[in-house]
Chains A and B, each alone.
Chain A
Amino acid sequence: MSEAELKAILFDGLREIAPEAEPEKLRPDQKIRETLDIDSFDFLKFLIALNEKTGVEIPEADYGKLNTLDAMLRYLGPKV
Chain B
Amino acid sequence: MADFVMPSLGADMESATLVKWHVHPGDAVKRGQIIAEVDTDKGIIDVECFQSGIIEKLVIEPGAKIPVGALLAVIQGGEAPVAAVTPVPAPVTIAEVPHIHVSPLAKKIAAELGVDLNKLVGHGTGPGGLIDREDVEQAAKPVFSPKTRVRVSPLARRRAEELHVDVTHIQGSGPDGAIEAADIERAVAPHKPSDAMRRAIAAAMAKSKREIPHYYLQTHIDMSAMLAWLQAENQKRSIKDRLLPVVPLLKALAKALRDVPQLNGFWVDGQHRVSEAIHLGFAISMKGGGLVAPAIHDVDKKSCDELMGDLRDLIPRARSGRLRSSEMTDATITITSLGDLGVETVFGVIYPPQVAIVGLGKIMEQPWAKDGMLGVHPVMTASLAADHRATDGHLGAQFLEALNRHLQTPDQP
Contacts and interface: CB of A to CB of B under 8 A. Distances in A.
Interface of A: 18-20, 33, 37, 39-41, 44, 47-48, 51, 57-61
A19 B244 CA distance: 23
Contacts of B315: 41
B244 A51 contact: no
Contacts, number: 33
The 7 closest A-B CB pairs, nearest first, are A39-B340, A60-B234, A51-B239, A40-B340, A41-B315, A48-B239, A40-B244
Contacts of A58: 239
Contacts of A61: 231
A57 B239 CA distance: 8
A51 B311 CA distance: 20
A60 B244 CA distance: 10
A41 B310 CA distance: 12
B338 to A, nearest CB: 10
Nearest to A20: B287
Contact of A47 (B234, B239, B311): B239
Contacts of B285: 39
A18 B285 CA distance: 13
Interface string B47-72: 00000000000000000000000000
B240 interface: yes
Interface of B: 231, 234-235, 238-240, 242, 244-246, 285, 287, 311-312, 315, 340
Given A20-B287, A39-B340, A40-B340, A48 B311 contact: no
A80 B140 CA distance: 69
Nearest to B245: A40
A40 B363 CA distance: 13
A39 B285 CA distance: 10
A48 B285 CA distance: 22
A12 to B, nearest CB: 17
Contacts of A37: 287
21 contacts: A18-B287, A33-B340, A39-B340, A40-B245, A40-B340, A41-B244, A41-B246, A41-B311, A41-B315, A44-B239, A44-B242, A47-B239, A48-B239, A48-B240, A57-B239, A58-B239, A59-B235, A60-B231, A60-B234, A60-B242, A61-B231
A22 to B, nearest CB: 14
A78 to B, nearest CB: 19
Contacts of A18: 287
Nearest to B314: A41
Contacts of A57: 238-239
A61 B235 CA distance: 9
Contacts of B245: 40
A25 B312 CA distance: 29
Given A20-B287, A39-B340, A58-B239, A44 B234 contact: no
Nearest to A38: B340
A44 B235 contact: no
B246 A40 contact: yes
